[in-house]
Structure 1
Amino acid sequence: MQRRVFLRTVTAGVGAVAFAGSLWQDAAGAEPAALAGPYGPLGPADANGVALPSGFTSRVIARSSHSVGGTIWHPAPDGGACFADGAGWIYVSNSEVPLIGGASAVKFRADGSIDRAYRILSGTHLNCAGGATPWNTWLSCEEIFRGRVFETDPYGNRGAVERKKMGRFKHEAAACDPVRQVIYLTEDESDGCLYRFRPNTWGDLSSGRLDVLCGAGSGVTWQPVPDPEPAVFEKQTRHQVSAALHFDGGEGCHYADGVCYFTAKGDRSVWAYDAEAETVRAVYQGGGTLDGIDNITGTAGGDLYVAEDGGNMEINIITPDGTVAPVIRIDGQSESEITGPAFSPDGTRLYFSSQRGTSGEMAGTGGITYEVTGPFRH
């Protein structure tokens, strides 16, 4: 795949650094267009309350507090990812509640039927998002003050391990860059930062260095965080380096083709860090069809899929030519948010959750996890 370039020049509240350029060459200098998109317009909501383009279908695979595959599905389902498992696959989902939090997994057979479900992490707090690693583990992140990162086994064979060197802060998402052998991390604070963790040995997260993204003239650079594990009353990670860039409410994170895409809910933006050019630019800024920007995932072909926290409960596609359009909408759940979008290994199924479902309860006992099948672009 050819390298992508960015959409437009912005400054958008990240200090005095001017971020020049445009995402995806054909769209340089243009505003994203709110169009029907590559799949056409959404049809009326189906029996599951999900509006989809023609040719797509939905099913409910799990409900919070109900049994699925022999286990009770967790409340407040949040960040997720898929993992290949022989002829089948596994979908992992976090639980964004205090005290019991953690994460669960659903194992699918080759025909898409559910084999079983099981817990892979328990006893943690407000596990929001995270990220998959190239060595097939799931990084589950706590979205709390001095939150932690836990490396878990989606296959359920090994216990979870806290990865202390990845920092203690209000973690959101993680995305692995196998070329530079680093892991990017977002922070859900109004003045949050973008971090990268460089393990001493790629594939072993027990030791390494935590850096923070900083402004450097017309570009950006990385500086080490002096104390990645500050005590409660010490200066927290986002305030330790004066040159650090700050983003308003870091959320989802996705790496592809040399670019780390990450979202900020405060200014309703999708940002992109080009690891080769060492620049940060905006892929999208709020004001159009996409609102309540939160979790993000993507495809090998360059499409991004961004889920809304609130808004009108949509997952929108952002294509390489700059088109922004809804692909999925959940009706009748305005007090919820869409979380955990992740494609099956073959790219034909998209999994996600409505964290609070129709109830809107903050405890998340009404959470619903969906699967949408259709002719997704690869």
Structure 2
Amino acid sequence: MTTSFDRRKFLQRGAAVTAGTVLVGGGTQALAAHGALAAPGRRGQELKAENNGGYGPIAPVNDMATGLPLLTLPAGFEYTSFGYSAAYAAALGKPGTGSDGYPTPDRHDGMATFATGNDDVVRLVRNHERGYGPAEGLQGDPDNAYDPVAGGACTTLTFDTAQFALTDSFISINGTSVNCAGGLTPWGSWLTCEETVNGRQNGFTQDHGYVFEVPADGGVVENPEPYRAMGRFVHEAVAIDPATGIVYETEDSGNTSGFYRFLPTDPQNLAAGGQLQMLAVKGQPGFQTYTGVSDRIGNPMPVEWVTITDPDPAAITTESVFSQGAAQGGAAFARLEGCWYDGGSIFFNATSGGDAQAGQVWEYRPRGRSGGQLILLFESPSREVLDAPDNITVSPRGGLVLCEDGGGDQYVRGLNERGEIFDFALNNIQTPADAEFAGACFSPDGEVMFVNVQTPGVSFAIRGPWENGAL
């Protein structure tokens, strides 16, 4: 699993920018610096970190595997590409099939790393966001497909950090649809999420819009079964609080996106069912988080949870679940995407949130079973500063890693404890669309960052002088 977010470091570094204290459980607790990021009044270029967050300027770097300058990175960093889609592999003259003999799917998206017991060997599970319609085709063994006319999938990969090379890959679940992001579990599996509510009503043999589980140390998932109690909606990502077993879920559905939590009946057996709830801001029913809130940056808002009575509606639209929560005062976000647990908090991105519609970064701090605090950490004032943050992870060195999914040049950007943005990687691959970064995550020892570019479909392993900054 990835190394834990260094909250103590944030508290120490953030003392100078902490604006006040918050009373929690009868005591006084200083706001962690990432809860007071981007103090109100700081805008535009003031949000850019000095010396690019300690990493200095970025410049094109040749890929160790192809010799091509596919990424722009800070000085001292190197990388290798791997796990190519079949089409991109053919263009590069590289192998395009896995060890199972099937062509590697394209549209690489969410991803996580898992320890294997060997310090040099990392396992990854990677999503493939395919399958908006039955014409997309099948990936993998048809005998194990959830839906034989859906094209979504996950690939399980093994990467040797000593050799700095991929050693094995295979399609571990298939017949799902639009596998966008997901999240890792404390027990060593990947929850892959379908970003669609397509189904029998429009040509599929199964309904979609669910969460599926893929064991990281297992083989192909046979007879995949969705976790229906976790909701049927336009899923994006999930994150689990290991202290409680509560699963937090994001929804990517325009300005009618909710932030949910799933209270499992058995925290280590999500198939056993549970209760789905949606976040609401206390005293402000129907609160719209996506506009007119920049003055709230760093200021916690108390929240409560409302229960979704029918998480798997028979008559489905993209708003069937959201509307149940909204009717009870649930809060509305703008396209919630990446979601990551660390240090007792859940961090998540609103891709088109904010007055500039360029993105927001949020934190949810649980407080007992019934409440908690919602904190706007950062709101992008323009697409030049931050353009549509999508997948998110927490660096072992204390920063937030943000994968962009906007227009034009696409970056992996960092957000440090002072609320400052800096550039880490720029995608140099010339693609007509979907050039987004996705799936950023770190090896268990924190020394290698893995990240995908969705189109043409390629994964990267990056290493270098991480200690120079917050990533």
- For Structure 1 versus Structure 2, the TM-score category normalised by the shorter chain is 0.7 to 0.9
Aligned to 2:428: 331
**One-letter amino acid matched to 1:58:** Y
Q: 1:97 aligns with which of 121, 130, 133?
A: 130
Name the residue aligned to 2:398: 302
Residues 37, 378 of structure 2: 8 Å contact kept? no
Task: Tell me the residue number matched to 1:360.
Answer: none
- The counterpart of 1:34, out of the listed 34, 40, 48, is 48
Q: Deviation of residue 24 (structure 1)?
A: 4.4
Amino acid in the other structure paired with 2:275: R
Q: Deviations over 1:320-359 (max 9, x none)?
A: 1222101111124363111111111111111111111xxx
CA contact (8 A) 1:7 1:283 kept: no
Residue 291 (structure 1) aligns with: 387
Q: More deviation in 104-113 or 129-138?
A: 104-113
Distance 1:8 1:337, change over 3 A: farther
Measure the CA separation in 2 of the matches of 1:8 and 1:263: 23
Structure having the higher strand fraction is 1
Is the 1:256–1:300 Cα contact (8 Å) retained in structure 2? no
Matched residue, 1:269: 360
| Structure 2: runs of 5+ lacking an equivalent | 1-6, 21-30, 63-67, 90-95, 132-149, 198-207, 284-300, 354-358
Counterpart position of 1:13: none
Residue 204 of structure 1 deviates from its aligned partner by: 0.8
- 1:317 matched to 2:384? The reply is no
Of stretches 68-77 and 278-287 in structure 1, the one that deviates more from structure 2 is 68-77
Tell me the residue number matched to 2:113.
82
Q: Is residue 43 from structure 1 mapped to residue 142 from structure 2 by the alignment?
A: no
The one of 302, 319, 339 aligned to 1:219: 302
The answer as to 2:310 corresponding to 1:258 is: no
Look up the match of 1:240. 324
Partner of 2:183: 131
* TM-score, scaled to structure 1: 0.88
| Larger relative helix fraction | 2
| Matched letter for residue 95 of structure 1 | H
Q: Measure, in 2, the Cα distance between the counterparts of 1:53 and 1:110.
A: 20
Shift of 1:180: 2.7
- Find the aligned partners of 2:362 and 2:342 in 1 and give their Cα distance: 13
- Secondary structure at 1:135's aligned position in 2? coil
Query: In the alignment, what sits opposite 2:257?
Result: 192
Amino acid at match of 1:123: G
Q: Would you say 1:166 and 2:256 are equivalent positions? A: no
Residue of structure 2 equivalent to 1:23: 34
What is the deviation of 1:374?
Answer: 1.6
| Distance change (3 Å), C-alpha of 1:69 and 1:113 | farther
Normalising by structure 2, what TM-score? 0.71
* C-alpha spacing 1:275/1:7, structure 2 compared with 1 (3 Å): farther
CA distance in 1, matches of 2:400, 2:177: 29
Query: Partner of 2:209: helix, strand, or coil?
Result: coil
Match of 2:157 among 106, 114, 125: 106
Tell me, in whole angstroms, the C-alpha distance in 1 between the residues paired with 2:157 and 2:429: 26
Report the alpha carbon displacement of residue 33 of structure 1 after superposing the two structures with TM.
2.0
Contact 2:441 2:450 in 1 (8 A): yes
- Cα displacement (A) at 1:368: 1.6
Which residue of structure 2 lines up, in the alignment, with residue 354 of structure 1? Answer: 453
Q: How many pairs does the alignment contain?
A: 359
Give the match for residue 118 of structure 1. 170
Distance 1:197 1:8, change over 3 A: farther
Name the CA distance, whole Å, in 2 between partners of 1:96 and 1:214. 30
Distance 1:321 1:132, change over 3 A: same
Pick closer, same or farther for the CA change 1:261–1:120 going to 2, 3 Å. Answer: same
Q: Give yes or no for contact 1:45–1:331 (8 Å, CA) kept in 2.
A: no
Question: How far off is 1:299 after superposition?
Answer: 2.0
**Correspondence for 2:26:** none
Distance 2:398 2:160 in 1: 28
Find the residue that maps to 2:449 and give its secondary structure. Answer: strand
Match of 2:430, SS?
A: coil
Give how far 1:23 is off: 3.2
- 1:17-41 Cα deviation digits (max 9, x unpaired): xxx9973458654637212113222
CA contact (8 A) 1:7 1:282 kept: no
Residues 158 and 201 of structure 1: CA distance in aligned 2, closer, same or farther (over 3 Å) = farther
Following superposition, the deviation at residue 367 of structure 1 comes to 1.3
Code of the residue aligned with 1:91 in structure 2: it is: L
Report which of the two structures shows the higher radius of gyration computed on alpha carbons: 2
1:59 aligns with 2:80: yes
Q: What's the % identity of the aligned pairs?
A: 31
Is there any run of 5+ residues in structure 1 with no aligned partner, and where? 10-19, 357-365
Q: Deviations over 1:273-307 (max 9, x none)?
A: 12138221211112252112111111244310000
Q: Is the 8 A contact 1:211 1:223 kept in 2?
A: yes
Report what 2:462 is aligned to.
372
2:195 to 143, 147, 165: 143
**Residue 44 of structure 1: SS of its match in structure 2?**
strand
SS of the counterpart of 1:23? helix
The residue aligned with 1:281 is 375
SS at match of 2:167: strand
User: Following the alignment from structure 1 to structure 2, what is the Cα–Cα distance between the partners of residues 48 and 105?
Assistant: 26
Q: 1:126·1:144 contact (CA, 8 Å) conserved in 2? A: yes
Which residue in the other structure is 1:153 paired with? Answer: 215
Q: Does the CA contact (< 8 Å) of 1:316 and 1:327 recur in 2?
A: yes
Q: Could you tell me how far 1:262 is from its partner in structure 2?
A: 0.8
- Structure 1 Cα separation of the partners of residues 154 and 450 of structure 2: 15
* Paired AA for residue 240 in structure 2: C
